[in-house]
Structures are given as C-alpha cells and as structure tokens.
Amino acid sequence: MIYLDNAATSWPKPEAVYRAMDHFMRHTGANPGRSAHQPSIEAGRIIYETRESLATLFGIGDPTRVVLTSNATEALNLVIKGLLQSGDHVITSSVEHNSVMRPLRAAEKRGVEVTVVRCMPEGILHPPHIEQAIRSNTRLIALNHASNVVGTLLPIAEVGLIARQHGVLFLVDAAQTAGCYPIDVEATSIDLLAFSGHKGLYGPQGTGGLYIREGIESSIEPLKYGGTGSRSEHEYQPDFLPDKYESGTPNSVGLAGLGAGVRFVLEQGVPEIQEREQELIRFLTDGLRAIPDVTVYGDSDPQGRVAVVSFNISGLTPSEVAMQLEEDHQIMCRPGLHCSPMGHKTLGTFPQGAVRLSPGYFNPNEDLERTLKAVGKIAAARARC
C-alpha cells in the first residue's frame, strides 16, 4: 500500500509514538492530576512534558499557555465561540477549512459580522486585502497557515504584523503546517495558534491544542466546564491556564503519543522535515504537470506550499480517479471537496472537487514514482476512450 493521505492523518507514526502509548496503557494508566498517588502524578507529568515539547516547537515561553484539545477543530471552536460576541467583526480567507467556516457561519447567526477575503485561484492571499477589510469593530483575523486543498502557504507573518498594528487578535490554524513548517508565535505575532496532533506532529487521532497569548483568556469563555483537579472546593471554573479550558479526563494515552511525536519532530528538526517534504512535492507536481490531460492546482513554487497537491484528469471525476488509484494501484488518496467548499470555489473546482495527494516524511521516492506512473496510465486509458 502507498499511503498519500497525510494531510488528513499522518501514517505511519514514528516508532516512539507506538511505544509511548503502549507504555502508558500498560504501566501508567491512571487519571492525571486527579489523585495524588504516583501513577496519577506520572500521568500528569507525561502530559506536562507534551505541553513543554509543544511550547519548545512553537517558541512559546510558558508551557501552561498550551491548552490541549481533542483536535484542531475543537481549538478553533473554542476561540470562535468563546471570543466573538454580537457586533464583533471577523476577517478570514476564502481557502479556510470548514473547521473555521462553519463556526463562523454559526457565529453570524448570533450577530457576528464575517468578511471572507478572496484568494487568487492558486490559493495566494495578498495581505493588503486583509488590511483593507479591517473595520473599527474588527476583533479577530482567522487564517489557516496553509490550505488543506492546495497546500499554498498564507503570508501569516505579514498579516500578523497588520493585526498587531491595528490591535486585532490573530488566530492561525496550523493544522497543515505544525511540525513540517517553522512556526514561532513571537516572530509572527500570533495571538492564538490552533493545531492538530495527528498530522505533522505524528500523534494519534483525538489530539490537538491551542496556544493562547497571556491576557487574552479573560475574553474567551470555555467551551466546556467541569472538573479540573484544581480548586475543587469551588463550584466555579478556574480562571487560569490550562485548567480553564481543560475540563474532564483528558485523552492521556493520546497525549503520551503526541508528546513522543513532537519530540521526534524536534529531534529530526523542522527544517529537515520541511526540506524532505519539499523534495517530495516538487517531484510530484513536476511529474503530474508533465502528464497530458492532467490539471494541477496551486502555487507552482514548491517554496510556497506544504506537501499537499490537488489535481484532476480531464473527463474523469475525482472519485473515479481515486477508486482506480486504490483498486488498481493500492494508492490511498482523498478525492472530493476536502471539507473546504470555499477553497474549491477559489480554485474553480467546485462542486466536483479534485484528487488530493499528500505525501509525508516517511514516503520513499519510489512511492511517488509508482503514483506518477499510475496517474499516467489512468489518464492515457481515459484519452483512448
């Protein structure tokens, strides 16, 4: 099998991730921070170390500013539902995932005003367009770091500066970039950073998180309330991080795995992973562009994108191509709209969508050579019809 769906969930995981999770289940097991016995403290320690590794990765000084969630979607909902109030204005782009668009559309019904800034058909965003959209009541700019449909990177450093100059909060959805592209919350003026744990950070599904800059938490209501293992004598939610946003027993085994995944990333080095993924994507896009009747979407410059490429074969629907890739060539990809109807409208591929290939750090070159041959065969067979 050739697995090219790393933009949805990375697979396989580093060996250390499997080991950390197995070890947690067999030898730690307890509920973190709820009891004071040693296995409970050890579980808390493992989670704290995950927090600390994430802080190191993203240039966050204080690990307690990292709130752990079940995925990036929960982190994004936490901000959008907890921060924005009726009369607030928010700016986003036309290549966002539904994890941002749907909570924003729901917020509109509560009286929040939403401006969607159009990107170019390659997914490129011009920062001045964001600045022009700022109003006196603009509270938040919410942008993904890279599109999950075409992989195009958005200019978050430039937009971060604009947001800072105008006193607007800046939320970045790093689902596609965390672990494979350098992120520094200070250098890019990020106030809120949402990330998933199961993609470029190599954790299991059901893990993710949110960085919250100091001071902002007083304006963000929790998504859930409940037991935190702290201040148990009070019937009111604690107001400090991370407890304010972390009620209920966490996914400790998942977070043990995530910690091992993040440490793997730190050991390899983000620039090393980025370079390898750029090699893969360059090879793949160049190869696809050379096949007759294949249209490749997105920025042609591999420096401007992450390891995600979408394409179509003329005369075939994305689902037909994906089915042939799997049945005849054992290649796993993802056809359709990729939870981003607006992203596909931007590319001009709505409603049929596209075929998305997303290689990962562990794919050998041979996987991509075989994939290009397979796509060539499918396109040639279609042309003969």
> Rounded to whole angstroms, how far apart are CA atoms 360 and 199?
9
Please report how close the Cβ of residue 231 comes to another protein at its closest, in angstroms. 7
Residue number, 65 or 276, with CB nearest to another protein? 65
Please report how close the Cβ of residue 141 comes to another protein at its closest, in angstroms. 29
Determine, following the binding rule CB under 8 A, whether residue 365 of this chain makes contact with another protein: no
Closest CA to 169 of 142, 206, 151: 142
> Rounded to whole angstroms, how far apart are CA atoms 238 and 263?
30
Q: Is 339 a catalytic residue?
A: yes
Residue number, 38 or 137, with CB nearest to another protein? 38
Q: How far is CA 378 from CA 165, 271, 280, 321, 374, in A?
A: 51, 35, 21, 7, 6
Please report how close the Cβ of residue 64 comes to another protein at its closest, in angstroms. 5
Helices marked H in the chain — which ranges? 15-23, 38-58, 72-83, 98-109, 127-133, 156-166, 252-268, 270-289, 318-329, 341-347, 365-384
Contacts with another protein in 241-260 (CB under 8 A)?
241-243
Determine, following the binding rule CB under 8 A, whether residue 45 of this chain makes contact with another protein: yes
Phi (first) and psi of residue 338, to 5 degrees: 55, 40
Closest CA to 190 of 200, 182, 198: 182
Determine, following the binding rule CB under 8 A, whether residue 44 of this chain makes contact with another protein: yes
Determine, following the binding rule CB under 8 A, whether residue 32 of this chain makes contact with another protein: yes
Contact criterion met (CB below 8 Å) for 211 and 233: no
Please report how close the Cβ of residue 230 comes to another protein at its closest, in angstroms. 5
Residue 109 makes CB contacts below 8 A (sequence gap 6+) with: none
Determine, following the binding rule CB under 8 A, whether residue 344 of this chain makes contact with another protein: no
Number of other CB atoms surrounding residue 375 within 10 Å:
25
The residue within the footprint of another protein, chosen from 35, 115, 205, 352 (CB under 8 A), is 35
Residue number, 242 or 298, with CB nearest to another protein? 242
Residue number, 51 or 145, with CB nearest to another protein? 51
> Rounded to whole angstroms, how far apart are CA atoms 259 and 17?
8
Helices marked H in 201-298 — which ranges? 252-268, 270-289
Please report how close the Cβ of residue 35 comes to another protein at its closest, in angstroms. 8
Closest CA to 134 of 170, 172, 163: 163
Determine, following the binding rule CB under 8 A, whether residue 238 of this chain makes contact with another protein: yes
Q: Which stretch binds another protein (CB under 8 A): 29-37, 160-168, 204-212, 307-315?
A: 29-37
Q: How far is CA 163 from CA 25, 81, 302, in A?
A: 44, 20, 27
Determine, following the binding rule CB under 8 A, whether residue 41 of this chain makes contact with another protein: yes
Determine, following the binding rule CB under 8 A, whether residue 240 of this chain makes contact with another protein: yes
Determine, following the binding rule CB under 8 A, whether residue 230 of this chain makes contact with another protein: yes
Give, for 141, the enclosing helix (H) or strand (E): strand 138-144
Total residues contacting another protein (rule CB under 8 A)?
Answer: 24
Please report how close the Cβ of residue 169 comes to another protein at its closest, in angstroms. 23
Residue number, 33 or 257, with CB nearest to another protein? 33
Residue number, 110 or 231, with CB nearest to another protein? 231
Binding-site ranges for another protein (CB under 8 A): 32-36, 41, 44-45, 48, 51-52, 63-64, 228-233, 238, 240-243
The catalytic site residues sit at 339
